[in-house]
Amino acid sequence: MAAVLPEGRLFLITGPSGVGKGTLVAALLARHPQIWLSISATTRTPRSGEVEGQHYFFLERSAFEAKVAQGGLLEWAEFAGNCYGTPREPVERQLAAGRPVLLEIELEGARQVRRSFPSGFQIFIKPPSFEELERRIRGRGTDSEEAISRRLQRAQVELQAEAEFDAVLVNGDLNEALAQLERLMGLA
């Protein structure tokens, strides 16, 4: 029987690109479907297999900027030449309904959310080593060498921010990382 999460609690996961946030979150949601995962908006083009409204809301830069200007994003950041953000209204609606909400976002967005929801529980995901992180990013086969270089430079900065978070989780072995995440969220 699944543990019952605190109602209306906000959980946030962040970490460098390529650390395995998406894989970890997918495994968590498969085991705990009561968690509502916020879908981010982005200005980047879809990767192979990504579906509009399921993986991201893919927006033209002008539409994204309009959402920012209207206060329609809970947080947003520009990363590797693209913008990412969390639509505000669906998160607030789910929290008001008492459902646990999970955000999977970048570092700058996490800092913005910390100001909006200081009671949210923030978890930083890091790789077992920087070399492993580079191997994962290159293994995707989706980015140019220039994009890989930007992601690795940004990762070095992001890894220095781990002390800002409520918890730090090393994603080396997926099953071990998932078990640790469940413990941190009160699911185990």
Distance in angstroms (rounded) separating the CA atoms of residues 53 and 56 = 5
Residue 136's nearest CA partner among 124, 145, 127 is: 127
Name residue 41's beta-bridge partners. 57, 85
CA 71 to chain CA mean position, Å: 20
10-184: which CATH number, 3.40.47.10, 2.40.50.180, 2.30.110.10, 3.40.50.300? 3.40.50.300
Task: Give the CA radius of gyration of the chain.
Answer: 16
Is 3's pLDDT higher than 60?
no
Q: Is the pLDDT of residue 14 over 80?
A: yes
Residue 2 has what pLDDT?
Answer: 41
| Residue ranges per structural domain of the chain | 10-184
Could you read off the pLDDT of 59-87 as tens digits, one per residue? 999 999 999 999 899 899 887 799 999 99
* Burial class of residue 41 in the structure, from the number of CB atoms within 10 Å of its CB (0-12 exposed, 13-18 middle, 19+ buried): buried
Q: What percent of the chain has pLDDT over 70?
A: 96
Going by the DSSP 8-state scheme, the letter that residue 119 receives in this structure is T
What number is the average pLDDT over the span 124-153? 90
